[in-house]
Amino acid sequence: MSDPATCWRVHPTGPLHGEVRIPGSKNAITKHMVAAILADSPSVIDNAPDVGDVALTAEMLHAIGAEVMSEGSRVIVDPGPIASGSVPEAFTGRNRIPILMLGPLLHRHGEAFVPMVGGDDIGGRPIDFHVNALRAFGAEVEVGTGGVSAKAARLHGARVSLPYPSVGATESALLTAVLAEGRTVIENAAIEPEVVEMALFLQRMGARLELQPNRRWVIEGVDRLHGATRRLAGDRLEGFSYLAAGLATGGAVTIRGVDQANLVTGLSALRRMGATLEIDEEGITARAPSGLQAIAVHTDTHPGFMTDWQQPLAVLCTQAAGLSVIHETVFDGRFGYVSCLSEMGAAIELYDQCLGGPACRFHESNYRHSAVISGPSALHGAAIDVPDVRGGFAYLLAAASADSESILTGVHHIERGYHRPLRQFAVLGLDITPDSLPTRE
Active site residues: 120
Distance from C-alpha of 425 to C-alpha of 400, rounded to nearest angstrom: 10
The answer to whether 366 and 393 have CB atoms below 8 angstroms apart is: no
The answer to whether 357 and 298 have CB atoms below 8 angstroms apart is: yes
From residue 225, give the alpha-carbon distance in Å to each of 41, 107, 201, 221.
Answer: 8, 11, 11, 10
The answer to whether 281 and 259 have CB atoms below 8 angstroms apart is: no
Burial zone of 282 (CB within 10 Å; 0-12 exposed, 13-18 middle, 19+ buried): exposed
150-174 per-residue burial string, b: 16 or more CB within 10 A, e: under 16: bebeebbbbebebeebbbbbbbbbb
Nearest residue to 166 via CA among 107, 99, 212, 213: 99
Beta carbons within 8 Å of 243's beta carbon, 6+ residues apart: 253, 255, 266, 270, 284, 286
The answer to whether 87 and 59 have CB atoms below 8 angstroms apart is: no
The answer to whether 305 and 269 have CB atoms below 8 angstroms apart is: yes
Structure letter (DSSP) for residue 181: B
Nearest residue to 348 via CA among 359, 358, 339: 339
Give CA angle at 419 (382, 57), nearest 5°: 110
**φ, ψ dihedrals at 353, nearest 5°:** -105, 160
3-state secondary structure of 405: coil
Distance from C-alpha of 328 to C-alpha of 189, rounded to nearest angstrom: 20
Q: How many residues does the chain have?
A: 441
- One-letter amino acid identity for 402? A
Neighbours of 434 (CB within 10 A): 12
